[in-house]
Structure 1
Amino acid sequence: MLTLHTAELLVPGAGSESGSAPLAGGAVLVEGDRIARVGPFADIAADYPHARTRRWPGVLTPGLLVRGGDVLLERTYYPDDPYEVAELGGDPISGEAELEALKMTEARWGNSARRGTQKLLARGVVAVTGRFTIPAVRTAVVRSGLTVLPPAAPTPTPSLDPFAGRDAAEEAFYGVLEPGAPARFAVFAVEDPGALPAQGATSCVATVIGGRLLHRRR
């Protein structure tokens, strides 16, 4: 099935064959797990009138990369909302002593990692760096659809926000939007992509990996 994703502004990413200039009213045509075409929405819609159309507010960009994914998912615990929030609070828990007190098991780490990957997807993340050593966590990451890359050196303090510590939004992009490229991208409810480092990735309204809509803000 062909799916046409469009937003008020499309940012193809540095190095794309069409250049990195933002395109007002741009669109990405997805066929299977690949991008079939990128360009003005009106032109693509006219050529593919039967494609399913998804209209998004804001800016459509390549998906984002988070560094230190192993720290975020194997050395950070995400309480189960609402069952554990009254006891543990809603914030992620890290620190050797704090995790020791939780008496973590592999199954508990796996459940936490699933909640963690959902938080990443909700921030437009499509790839993480790190080396995962807990089998249940590794399984959760693979099933989430996230691409796993080798650890980056040096790694700054890991954050769920891919824009943390970045001077420009483009520094967090993973890949480009062009025909033949993997269909992995995100949409953010901002008017200007330059505002993303300040506003943060929680403005994400949609995340697509492998052509599948894996996050949609409700």
Structure 2
Amino acid sequence: MRTVHAADLLRLTLDDPPRAGLAVVVAGDRVEAVVPTAELPGAHPGVRVRRWAGTLGPALVHDGPLPPAPTPRERVHALFRLGVAAVLDEHVTDPALRSAANRNEVAVLAATRPPALVPGGRADLAVFDPDGSCRATVVAGRLVHRRA
């Protein structure tokens, strides 16, 4: 299923200045395209559109130990509340924690990489408020966190 994520502002990388008027088209677990929001009704009829307040951009890579929580599943979900979709391999050595990360499609990386939204790339997105708090996280095209 295709979904369009549109927000007040969009950045393609964490260093990219936020721009208005753009949206991300997601097909399955991949970014299909970044398009002007004005083109959405005609170019993508019938597609689900999720509109977010805040700045949409690539989900983060967590480069430290996972947040403490009672269970591995809750530790992974704590990452989603931060806008994270990837962790470093060295921080998920516990088999139960690695299993929870895999079940939730968290990318486990050998080394850190700068997150970016690119057509054909994995659809790991996050929406942040001006204060830096995470409003929503999408991991491999699936909405895994949404703050009310």
Q: Check whether TM > 0.5.
A: yes
Shorter-chain TM-score bucket reads 0.7 to 0.9
Unaligned runs of 5+ in 2: none
Residue in 1 that maps onto 2:6: 6
Residue in 2 that maps onto 1:212: 142
Structure 2 distance, partners of 1:23, 1:212, is 24
Q: Runs of 4+ in structure 1 displaced over 3 angstroms?
A: none
Preserved contact between residue 29 and residue 44 of structure 1 (Cα < 8 Å): no
Alignment pair present for 1:130 and 2:126:
no
Structure 2 distance, partners of 1:14, 1:58, is 14
Q: 2:119 aligns with which of 149, 174, 179?
A: 179
Query: TM-score, normalising length from structure 1?
Result: 0.61
Preserved contact between residue 61 and residue 115 of structure 2 (Cα < 8 Å): no
One-letter amino acid of the counterpart of residue 27, structure 2: E
Question: In the TM superposition, what whole-angstrom CA distance separates every residue of 1:65-107 from its partner, at most 9, and x where no partner exists?
Answer: 1112xx336xxx424xxxxxxxxxxxxxxxxxxxxxxxxxxxx
Q: Kindly, what percent of the aligned residue pairs are identical?
A: 43
How far off its partner does 1:24 sit? 0.2
More helix, by proportion? 1
One-letter amino acid of the counterpart of residue 134, structure 1: D
Query: TM-score, normalising length from structure 2?
Result: 0.88
- Matched residue count: 147
More strand, by proportion? 2
Unaligned runs of 5+ in 1: 80-110, 153-172, 191-198
2:126 match: secondary structure: strand
Larger Rg: 1
Aligned residues: CA RMSD: 2.1
Alignment pair present for 1:50 and 2:46:
yes
Alignment pair present for 1:145 and 2:105:
yes
1:145 match: secondary structure: coil
Preserved contact between residue 10 and residue 27 of structure 1 (Cα < 8 Å): yes
